[in-house]
Amino acid sequence: IRTDIGDYDNPGFDDLTMSLAFLPDLKTESTEPSGLPNFYRHKPDTAAKAIPGYTPRDYLTHWLSQWVRDYGIDGFRVDTAKHVEQAAWLQLKTQASEALAEWKKANPDKALDNAPFWMTGEAWGHGVMQSDYYRHGFDAMLNFDYQDQAAKATSCLANMDLTWQQMAEKLQDFNVLSYLSSHDTSLFREGGSTAAELLLLAPGAVQDL
């Protein structure tokens, strides 16, 4: 890891190596086998096992996909996706997809559907565009543009006609996840039932933050 503690390497200044919100940065770009973290090596009741040749990224994607294999989790919502290499996200999506398929095969009475593993991500400022994230495992990205457009239409849904038309035209081969209210931007308190309509009628996927 990188952190401003002890003799660890210092964090960098770019998106991939910085210390986000004073948290340590995991060296997911490393190609060197790492072994287990020290706290797992000395934890008597840990279920973590050293895997020969595994890098930090390999351990993380293995552990996360194991949750899918054990519990049938059918999707991940990734926060601040830009702070991890896109190749790592693709690796996670591949392993999680395989794990979910195995879980559904082993638990046909518990599986809700036959849908594949679904992954959505947050990258600050992302709008309705088919970025590289979609080629690296993501099925949808948060649509930061929708909130401001919806705020202009709480008095009249017709004010959203152009936005909805443009979204519908663009969203032919990919998807976005639109929202109205978020602690990261601003809370959407106005509109009442009209606000609910603005969200539910949005082309693509929607979520309530």
Question: What residue ranges do the domains of the chain occupy?
Answer: 1-120, 145-209
Q: What is the pTM of this model?
A: 0.92
Q: Are 48 and 36 in contact (CB under 8 A)?
A: yes
Q: Does residue 122 carry a catalytic annotation?
A: yes
Largest CA distance in the chain: 62
Q: Are 57 and 91 in contact (CB under 8 A)?
A: yes
Residue 190: what pLDDT? 76
Q: Which of 70, 79, 190, 208 is catalytic?
A: 79
Apex 113 CA angle, 131 and 170, nearest 5: 25
Cβ neighbours of residue 194 closer than 8 Å, sequence gap 6 or more: 153, 154, 155, 157
Is residue 141 exposed (0-12), middle (13-18) or buried (19+ Cβ within 10 Å)?
A: buried
Q: Does residue 4 carry a catalytic annotation?
A: no
**pLDDT tens column, 83-137:** 999 999 999 999 999 999 999 999 999 999 999 999 999 999 999 999 999 999 9
CA 179, chain centre distance (Å): 15
